[in-house]
Structure 1
Amino acid sequence: MNIAHLSDLHFGVHSPDAVSSLIADVVAAAPDLTVVTGDLTMRARTGEFQQARAFLEELPGPVLVVTGNHDLPLDSPLRLFKPYDRYRSYISADLDPVVRVPGLTAVGLQSMPRWRWKDGLVRRSQLSLVSSTFAAAPGGDLRLVALHHPPFGQTLINGPKLLRTGADLLLAGHTHHPDVRTMGSTVVVVAGTSTSRRTRGTPSSWSRITVAEGMVTVIERHFMLDGWRTGRLITVPHAGRPSGPGPGDRRPG
């Protein structure tokens, strides 16, 4: 199973060079599923969503997309009464999408309520959606959850409960720093910012995730002056401690 994980595109403060070359880099990976974990825009403006829509249409499908905190308008009337309308109009009407491909069942969650400005929340109904979807999945399927907020730190209410739904993989963004860790029986992969200039000391990046024979391999692709290059390679069992080279120990050219 081969998954492309992008996040924090931030159209409006994006790098045109990163955008123009990223599509080809993702296409070359031939993913079975492409996941984008939120913050498609910087200020949820119409023009930013239009740019994000055009970008998503070029990604190899199927594509699973969720909202981020920057995808809700900042101004009070829209945020109060129509917080998700622009996202629904330009990206997807389904805020908690389910995507199934052979061997994989994936659930996306809208983790940004209108009354929070930055941190996230997983509602009880969403926990039930994940549990029921995984319960109905074929026995051998890889079970994946995607949302904007990672389940560690203080950024996500009910994060620990989400980790008890039986997910093999949980994909998130928000921090702009790539991260791979095992939490219980779930491998958590946080993607960096793929096209934003707000890199916070880490190059723009996306993560290629391969799952085979009980192992999860994450290859980070970093945007450098000469284009996209392979960065860290991290291998983690489905459950347990990382094995093989640690983060940053192996950099295959």
Structure 2
Amino acid sequence: MSSPLVIAHLSDLHLGAHVPASVAAIADEVGAFHPDLTVVTGDHTMRARPREFLQAVDVLDKLPVPRLVVPGNHDLPLVSPLRVTAPYARYRRWIGEDNAVARLPGLTALGINSMPWWRWKSGRVTHAQTTTLRQVMGQASPDSVRVLALHHPPFAGGLARLVGRSRLTRALRAARVDIVLAGHTHVPSVHQSRHGPLVVIAGTATSYRVRDVPRSWTMLRVTAEAVEVHERFESEPGAWHTGRVVRHLRRPH
């Protein structure tokens, strides 16, 4: 890898429960870092209403390309027959397919839909998705950075535990995934999983639904030796600064 790969990671925009100044500034803020890939890990809307999806499309379209985007629990209708009959119809109409692949020189990324319609807000990973994970990463070059993106933190416990977590853990190891990107908690964090990949959770980028930390997004700089995670916090609406930089050595494949 001759130069660092830059990945912009945003999550939990919650259009419909957003701060207008934050929304207005986020595209320029992210674009200033010239990311090779922009990843947005779900909860683009607050209640999956059509007007919120239209707002989300406007925001997403201004973010740097290429983009990898996955749905979150708020992107399914909450109290509506559509929750059962067509839970992903609005998302697919305005945002696109909910399982997607991004391939760049030196980088292979897979985004999966971790939100089943039959759970209230916690997630699941299916057998078909883990099969796809193995297949997609199996096609990556040996030195490629391998990234999985989903809305739900993969190793949460208790009621937040993923259905299918054991199969996902096995697939992450078999696929030699380097980085997992997720959201959902509204609290940024970085930790090296004992299951292999570095797990990076992004906070909420534009919503007023913060949880004891400011709005934030995450920028990753990936080299052959290490992953640097820069957490960008909002100091006032529309103004951002780097609050923390975490450096992790990459494990050999």
Do they fold alike, i.e. is TM over 0.5?
yes
Contact 1:35 1:146 in 2 (8 A): yes
1:208 correspondence with 2:222: no
1:134 correspondence with 2:144: no
Cα deviation code 1:162-216 (max 9, x no counterpart): 2323210100000000010011320000000000100011100000001113211
Counting only pairs closer than 5 Å after superposition, residues 49-60 of structure 1 correspond to structure 2 as: 49-60=53-64
Aligned to 2:114: 111
1:218 correspondence with 2:229: yes
Counterpart residue identity of residue 188, structure 1: V
Contact 1:186 1:238 in 2 (8 A): no
1:35 and 1:169 map into 2 onto residues whose CA distance is: 12
Counting only pairs closer than 5 Å after superposition, residues 26-45 of structure 1 correspond to structure 2 as: 26-45=30-49
Counterpart residue identity of residue 179, structure 1: S
Runs of 5+ unmatched residues, structure 1: 241-253
1:228 correspondence with 2:231: no
1:158 to 150, 153, 164: 164
1:62 correspondence with 2:66: yes
* Count of aligned positions: 239
The SS at the match of 2:132 is helix
Aligned to 1:243: none
Counting only pairs closer than 5 Å after superposition, residues 64-213 of structure 1 correspond to structure 2 as: 64-92=68-96, 94-154=97-157, 155=160, 156-162=162-168, 163-164=172-173, 165-183=175-193, 184-213=195-224
TM-score, normalised relative to structure 2: 0.92
Cα displacement (A) at 1:224:
1.3
Moved over 3 A (4+): none
Runs of 5+ unmatched residues, structure 2: none
Counterpart residue identity of residue 21, structure 1: A
Aligned to 2:24: 20
Give the superposed CA RMSD: 1.3
2:244 and 2:190 map into 1 onto residues whose CA distance is: 10
Pick 1 or 2: higher relative contact order, CA cutoff 8 A, min separation 6.
2
Contact 1:10 1:41 in 2 (8 A): yes
Cα deviation code 1:121-174 (max 9, x no counterpart): 000000000000001111211100000000122322223432323210100000
Aligned to 1:238: 250
